[in-house]
Amino acid sequence: MSFNPAHWPLPGQLLLAFMLGALGVLAYAPFGFGLVMLPAIALLLHLWRHSATPGANFWLGYAFGLGLMGFGVFWIRISISQFGGVPMALAVVITLLFVAFMALYYGLAGWLVGRLRSRNPVLWFVLLAPAAWVLVEWLRGWLFTGFPWLALGYSQIDLPLNGFGPVLGSYGITLVLVASAGLLNLLPRVGAIAALAVLWAAGFGLQQWTWTTPAAEPIRVSLLQGNIEQAQKWQQSMRQITLQRYLDMTESVPDSKIVIWPETAVPAFADEAEAKLLAPLHERLTTQGRDVLLGIVAGDRQGDYYNAMLSLGISGRDHYHKRHLVPFGEYLPFDEWTRPVLDFMQIPMSNFAAGGNGKPLVTLAGQPVGVDICYEDAYGEEIIRALPEATLLVNASNDAWFGDSLAPHQHLEIARMRSLETGRYMMRSTNTGVSAIIDDKGHIVSTSPQFKQHVLTDDVVPMRGTTPFVYWGNWGVVTLAILLLLPGLFAQRSD
């Protein structure tokens, strides 16, 4: 990377890249202007193509990342400050440091495409740049446990390119989107116009394809949104009030065969709640011929505690323990060195153990259901572990951690992508919203109002079958991206 000031981008170019990243936030929920991302990426590619060095590309990509992450995930400060006991000024500093780190991935993408610079603009815009972007985005999704939030593919959830989701997943949509942005740079060449039309027509055509089929008759389900304030959630005085609220809501929907409570809806440990809540509720539900899946903290004989979902009722008792934990929120990486951080932040219920590696399945209303908790649905390959057995999906969450911000809407958009990729209905139950029923195409069937106590009742259709993405997960698009890079590598060796 060159640190020669003569090779740095001009201040105006850096400002433009930053503004393009900030503008890109509008492509995601709750704004939903997905088409904005296409010219934003096209202009960034233009800047990269005409920069002096790979180092200059790095700084342009870094500026873009600062704009996208800075405006897109600034909500992280809310949980750090309001619920972590950290002064707001310090929470902002921590958030900005996180943004600065995440922006490095966009800088890496810029540097990589700079290193792969080709004399052939078609090769560079259509193959090399999209492939490099996807590989770096994929890296961001798993390195250091990963942070795949605001991957480009999510921005296209309501546009024709989402047809590639069941085939190559969200990263596949990213690949086609960046290739489309590259083709914009090649206009008005006839070949570029034709290729752009083919890509988007292919996406539209794939939207019409049915990958999965109904496995059973529709099932009436209810998602309970208790709207318990996060600041009060673990107060002893709120325990009985909270439990009675959820019990009353459960009894208010006697025709629902499945009732879903949110993540950690029960503000108590499972062993504490067994005699007075869990056992009586299981017996009553069994008599009624219904099932409940509820969030609770469960322990084991080794003294470990888990963020868990527990099923009760006619289908029998079962559980799922969350496996992909949030660093510094649910567990401490390098505990012996970072323990003072958690003690300082005072985040409740933040020392969980990770669940096992078995299939994340429970039985509800006679159907095998894939379960994930909160942030786990940001990882497509986590969800497909339950498939093809699962006929339905559940995401239980508590987005109260992020208040009235962009986060709950972005999280719902991510859940929609998981339904699209797998061809399954998803029941998404949250504490404060947005709770939702999502169909097998990623469309929202019904939602709850935010920050209100609400029972969302609707029908879901169990689905059978397997999308291509379920077969090969992210490795399909990763392999494709590597193959797309080969022509550039060979071209460089021949220069």
pLDDT number for residue 5:
63
pLDDT number for residue 142:
94
In the numeric block, which tokens belong to residue 29?
A: 């929920």
Q: Residues 119-146: what's their mean pLDDT?
A: 95
Class at the top of the CATH hierarchy for domain 214-466: alpha beta
- Average pLDDT of the residues of the chain: 93
489 pLDDT above the threshold of 90? no
CB 258 within 8 A of CB 364: yes
Catalytic residues: 263, 322, 374
43 pLDDT above the threshold of 80? yes
**Strands 392-397 and 367-373: what pairing?**
parallel
Residue 265's pLDDT band (boundaries 50, 70, 90)?
very high
Displacement of CA 389 from its chain's centroid (Å): 22
pLDDT number for residue 490:
74
336 pLDDT above the threshold of 70? no
For the whole prediction, is pTM greater than 0.75?
yes
79 pLDDT above the threshold of 70? yes
Q: Which residue has the tokens 């084991």?
A: 300
Residue 207 CB neighbour total at 10 angstroms: 18
Residue 287's pLDDT band (boundaries 50, 70, 90)?
very high
pLDDT digits (tens, 9 = 90+) for 228-239: 988 888 888 999
Structural domain boundaries in the chain: 5-210+473-494, 214-466
491 pLDDT above the threshold of 70? no
337 pLDDT above the threshold of 60? no
Q: Name the residue type at position 54.
A: P
Residue 494's pLDDT band (boundaries 50, 70, 90)?
low
Q: Residues 23-39: what's their mean pLDDT?
A: 98
- Gap between the Cα atoms of 46 and 41, Å rounded: 9
- Gap between the Cα atoms of 490 and 256, Å rounded: 60
Q: Name the residue type at position 191.
A: G
pLDDT number for residue 334:
53
pLDDT number for residue 59:
97
Mean pLDDT lowest for which of 174-183, 210-219, 221-230, 322-331? 322-331
pLDDT digits (tens, 9 = 90+) for 435-451: 999 999 999 999 999 99
Q: Which residue has the tokens 């057995």?
A: 389
pLDDT number for residue 279:
98
- Gap between the Cα atoms of 292 and 250, Å rounded: 8
339 pLDDT above the threshold of 90? no
209 pLDDT above the threshold of 90? yes
89 pLDDT above the threshold of 70? yes
Q: Residues 399-409: what's their mean pLDDT?
A: 94
pLDDT number for residue 332:
62
pLDDT number for residue 94:
93
Provide the percentage of residues in the chain whose pLDDT is more than 90. 82
Q: Residues 63-92: what's their mean pLDDT?
A: 92
